[in-house]
Amino acid sequence: MEPIEVTARFDEQGTITPLELTWKGSHLRVESSGRRWTDEDGLHILVILASGRMVELIYRSGEGRWYLQRTRSNRAYA
């Protein structure tokens, strides 16, 4: 898990929608977001980037920080 910069929209119901992330110096657009869940690590959101790569974003509201957790299918590419 590594800290990253995420641009996200927080709507009036409190739903968080990631729009873009900065990873290893590159700005990457989020094409879509899917499954989400909360556990002791924070809010997990699976997103598909414009490149087609799927990554897992984790938002820790107590810290106000985002983290990236590469999914198993993408570990070989990063």
Answer whether residue 78 is part of any domain.
no
What pLDDT score does 23 carry?
86
Residue 56 belongs to domain spanning: 2-73
- Vertex 15 angle, CA 2 and 4, to 5°: 15
Non-local CB neighbours of 75 within 8 Å, separated by 6+ positions: none
- The answer to whether position 61 is within a domain reads yes
Burial of 64: CB neighbours in 10 Å, binned 0-12, 13-18, 19+: exposed
pLDDT tier for residue 78 given thresholds of 50, 70 and 90: very low
How buried is 53 (Cβ within 10 angstroms: 0-12 exposed, 13-18 middle, 19+ buried)? middle
What per-residue confidence (pLDDT) applies to 73? 55
Q: What is the pLDDT of residue 24?
A: 87
The number of folded domains in the chain is 1
Residue 75 pLDDT class (50, 70, 90 cuts): very low
- Confirm whether 40 is domain-assigned: yes
pLDDT in tens, 23-65: 889 999 999 999 999 999 999 999 999 999 999 999 999 999 9
